[in-house]
Structure 1
């Protein structure tokens, strides 16, 4: 099954490359945004698949091509604002998959879902999601905010957003789109993120 998925992803990459360089209708032009989403979740769609994504989920890998220039975790201002559009482009309010470097070693990391909370001219500012529960009967970790379940996790596990680390991601380093996060949930994450910075 993994081989079939890898072949499909490779075919999609080749098709998108053909469209991009031949000027086909599937290329992403700068002014081609679709209608605005009204805050409702959209079904998960494969929007883009750059780089090599054939590694097993959860396996640590070295920095893939295009991410070697990781500037370090974001320390500048963050102004979270839900701005999701159903157009295949990564926007604040959306959960996407990208290679995320480890905090202690930026040359290694793994593919994981991230919530886009803001953007600059060059970067998408993201917080990573985890399915590991950090709330227990004896300890509630303030670095994590519950976001529930969604199309970003095929197993349907509840996720939490880690808000004490903001990760800059280049738009072309996004592997695939997961889903649009419910706006009320995004606002809860944004409020906690803002209060901690």
Structure 2
């Protein structure tokens, strides 16, 4: 079992990958719902939609937890549309003085916004970057910028990189030394020059 330090580093790297990358945008208050519809099988143009679902949607949900993002996956069809529907609503009035819902209230009691307009994005035969670019353009979303990392984290990342490279170098040297040398046409051993590179 990995040590707690190794698990913590893995978790920190995972959180960093969720916070940053394609899909790390903050949607405006006028967007209250993003609904996806695609096929289970990724062929016939649904591969980009499947990648968007796997890579971009978790980042969107991380930065916009209040936006509802249902996904409909059709497991029977082998062809058909792959759409991402943006549901717009009237933005909340900042002058509204009603008290916010208490933690004891259920989600059914909270008032759901009414959809005033929708926009469909066709995801067939498109890359996740193209889908995300159109989503950002249609919603006027703002890209998330990661705050600068602390110096000790930068030093730790550099240390881990050098350590990983040293382990790979040791493994390559061990494999190279255990490999028999090849003989040429004249019966002499052939030097391929790799021994000088790993010295």
TM above 0.5, yes or no, is no
Larger radius of gyration: 2
For normalisation by structure 1, the TM-score amounts to: 0.20
Structure (1 or 2) with the greater helix fraction? 2
Structure (1 or 2) with the greater strand fraction? 1
